[in-house]
Amino acid sequence: MSTLTVTPRTRLVRRPDRGSFDRATVHAILDEALICHVGFEVDGQPYVLPTVYVRIEEHLYVHGSVGSRMLRSLREGAQVCVTVTLLDGLVLARSAFHHSMNYRSVVLLGRAQEVTELPEKRRAFDALLEHIAPGRSREVRPADDLETRATTVLRLPIEEASAKIRTGPPIDDERDYALGCWAGVVPLALTAAQPIADPALPAAIPLPPSLQPYRRLR
């Protein structure tokens, strides 16, 4: 199915015109962003923690130390809400009230499952590296068995999810278009500066192809 099923939990109430349940749209946002925020509850206290993730087909993978409380909670089947946000611009209106932001975001609800099979864990590690810097998984030493076992990997199905997208100029009140103040959009994008070599790196080792130059998808 090219469209995600809308559920009572993912139906957009506020500005539904900005919502999308198109899988390709959701995937594109997930593939471009670098981090997600994972919301979960422990003993009635909500936590929202940032972490790295990667999408492989119809699943989102997160990983971390076996000691991570976040991953332990998720592994035990807790309900989880993952959000991913790409900030595309500052929307500066003629009134304080109508200032906004241009963005593309995804909200994903569900329960995670632990990945225990070593081949799938290794595939997730490679994909995580590729998500950060395409080509990187072929340039470095892969995780050994000890490192693989010391890492918890969880996958969350991309089933109950929504995207929301704001684009374009500010939307002002009719009475304010005559005001003399500047209005418009300041576009924002994530860009990388020149890589800085590790001081311990021998001078003969050149920048790898994955960093020439380093660019995020768009």
Ligand X SMILES: Cc1cc2nc3c(=O)[nH]c(=O)nc-3n(C[C@H](O)[C@H](O)[C@H](O)COP(=O)(O)OP(=O)(O)OC[C@H]3O[C@@H](n4cnc5c(N)ncnc54)[C@H](O)[C@@H]3O)c2cc1C
Interacting residues toward ligand X by CB under 6 A: 9-10, 12-14, 85, 87, 101, 103, 105-107, 162-164
Smallest distance, ligand X to C-beta of residue 112, A: 17
Smallest distance, ligand X to C-beta of residue 85, A: 5
Query: Cα separation of 155 and 158, whole Å?
Result: 9
Helix (H) or strand (E) holding 100: strand 100-111
The residue with tokens 């923690």 is 49
Helices (H), 14-169: 23-32, 69-75, 118-132, 145-149
Smallest distance, ligand X to C-beta of residue 215, A: 22
Nearer to ligand X, 14 or 141 (CB): 14
Query: Cα separation of 104 and 15, whole Å?
Result: 14
Nearer to ligand X, 25 or 210 (CB): 25
Q: How far does the chain reach from its first CA to its final CA, in angstroms?
A: 24
Smallest distance, ligand X to C-beta of residue 105, A: 4
Nearer to ligand X, 15 or 141 (CB): 15
Please give the residue whose beta carbon sits closest to ligand X in the complex: 164
Query: Cα separation of 29 and 55, whole Å?
Result: 10
Would you say 158 and 60 are in contact if contact means Cβ atoms under 8 Å apart?
yes
Nearer to ligand X, 71 or 86 (CB): 86
